[in-house]
Amino acid sequence: MAKILCVLYDDPIDGCPRSYARDGIPKLERYPDGQELPTPKRVDFTPGELLGNVSGGLGLKRFLKESGHQLIVTSDKDGADSVFEKELPDSDVVISQPFWPAYLTAERLAKAKKLKLAITAGIGSDHVDLKAAAERGLTVAEITYCNSVSVAEHIVMLILSLAHNYIPSYQWAVDKGWNIADCVSRAYDIEGMSIGSVAAGRIGLGVLKRLKPFDVKLHYTERHRLPEDVERALGLSYHGDVESMARVCDIVTINCPLHPETEHLFNDDLIGKMKRGAYLVNTARGKVCDRDAVVRALESGQLAGYAGDVWFPQPAPEDHPWRTMPHHGMTPHVAGTTLSAQARYAAGVREILECWLEGRPIREEYLILKEGRLAGAGARAYTVGNVTAGSEEARRFRAEGRPLRPAAVRRARARPARAKRKAARRVA
């Protein structure tokens, strides 16, 4: 019997949905580059359901119970007294997500004597100390391509939202205002702008393809240069390094993995070489940017806006400065966990577990480390190192006693109850 420890984000505040906004999601045959979608023997969920939370359990509960294996699902992941910390020492497999990462630091890996496999339910395994994992001979896998399109769509939305000053304009509408001048004083078209992508893998290339119809000038930098016919079809300008691209772009979107070479890549120096008033969009990993350098650039006007949904650590403490810095469009880490994406990464996790439990090879494109060596997607995109330093700060999110829900949501949900009470008083 194997023990599988699964760390997922909390259930919705008001409980899991009894119904959904839509009746289902489109059925895809293949990914855009022809890669096959996850192919588990079966799934025990309906695509379009909430699966990435504790109650959803990635749809694994029935499968593992019937197979005679132990599954522990929790959202309690930080601190010495957490469920994750207590259950880790005798776990064979750890499943975690980029959106609510269970950081597998060297210290934690040293305690996990039985651990053989770490699975990322999504894309991006930087929450694992890959250096320590390699020394232990562990296998690390993720669900390559499962949410790449989800994130690419989100990036285009963020670019347009920043440039057109959408979020402040929406807030004027919510506040019952009609402040046209306030809304448009920071609003621009992206037509004719130069937009560059740091990396052009599945997400970066997906963004460039989606931006081409906007009549913008497209740039990219990538350690593996794209084929000439792709560059020609999209009208791409290639740059050998990030700095040369950043200097000429009005908007930069970061789509590279986090590893030691990209940690704090966008610091004071690099941001200072960008055009004044440029926009920076980061849905890769928060630590690719120097946290305080971003704040300084927004306050000085060097950056006109910063948007993304990745932070460090995750979840971010209440006093994280990206929550309050000016001209930002930050959300919790949600771009890659749409209901559409969840169906794919839940199926991919099951496929990997089926292979591992049955002694079959895990699909090559899913691999980051194979028994301690870079393999598959990892060999192409990662370097072995550690970028988990500082992740212990995530424990403060629980400790700070955050409100159950944002004040605006509480007020909105209280209105029907207040109206009902007023009506009752009038009748009385």
CA dihedral 44, 2, 337, 321 (to 10 degrees): 150
Yes or no: say if 99 and 54 are a contact pair by the CB < 8 Å rule. Answer: no
Does the CA dihedral 290-296-297-298 come out positive or negative? positive
Asked whether the beta carbons of 314 and 101 are under 8 A apart, the reply is: yes
Give the residues across from 253 on adjacent strands. Answer: 197, 281
The active-site residue, picked from 259, 285, 327, 350, is 285
User: Catalytic: 255?
Assistant: no
Beta-ladder partners of 141? 119, 367
Q: What is the pLDDT of residue 407?
A: 52
pLDDT of residue 400: 77
Distance CA 25, CA 186 (A): 36
Burial 17-39 (b: 16+ CB within 10 A, else e): eeeeeeeebeeeeebeeeeebbe
CB 134 within 8 A of CB 384: yes
Which SS3 state, helix, strand or coil, does residue 370 take?
strand
Angle at 247 between CA 271 and CA 192, to 5 degrees: 115
- How large is the greatest C-alpha to C-alpha distance in the chain, in angstroms? 77
Task: Please name each of the domains of the chain with its CATH number.
Answer: 3-146+337-399 (3.40.50.720), 148-330 (3.40.50.720)
> Residue 166 has which token pair?
């959408």
Which of 255, 282, 314, 342 is catalytic? The answer is 314
Q: Is 70 a catalytic residue?
A: no
Ranges assigned E (strand) in 188-302? 194-198, 217-221, 236-239, 251-254, 278-282
Q: Please say if 165 is a catalytic residue.
A: no
Indicate if 127 belongs to the active site. Answer: no
Hey, how many other C-beta atoms are within 10 angstroms of the C-beta on 293?
19
Instruction: For 163-315, list the strands marked E by DSSP.
Output: 194-198, 217-221, 236-239, 251-254, 278-282, 303-308
Task: Out of 53, 97, 147, 255, pick the active-site residue.
Answer: 147
Tell me the pLDDT of the chain (428 aa) as tens digits.
Answer: 999 999 999 999 999 999 999 999 999 999 999 999 999 999 999 999 999 999 999 999 999 999 999 999 999 999 999 999 999 999 999 999 999 999 999 999 999 999 999 999 999 999 999 999 999 999 999 999 999 999 999 999 999 999 999 999 999 999 999 999 999 999 999 999 999 999 999 999 999 999 999 999 999 999 999 999 999 999 999 999 999 999 999 999 999 999 999 999 999 999 999 999 999 999 999 999 999 999 999 999 999 999 999 999 999 999 999 999 999 999 999 999 999 999 999 999 999 999 999 999 999 999 999 999 999 999 998 989 999 999 999 999 988 765 545 555 445 445 444 444 444 444 43
| pLDDT of amino acid 402 | 55
Q: Which residues are within 8 A (CB) of 320 and not within 5 positions of it... i.e. 6 or more apart?
A: 291, 311
Burial class (CB in 10 A: 0-12, 13-18, 19+), 159: buried
From the candidates 333, 363, 395, 396, give the one annotated as an active-site residue: 333
Please state, in angstroms and rounded to a whole number, the distance separating the CA atoms of residues 37 and 211: 25
Question: How much is the pLDDT for 399?
Answer: 80
Backbone angles phi, psi at 329, to 5 degrees: -135, 55
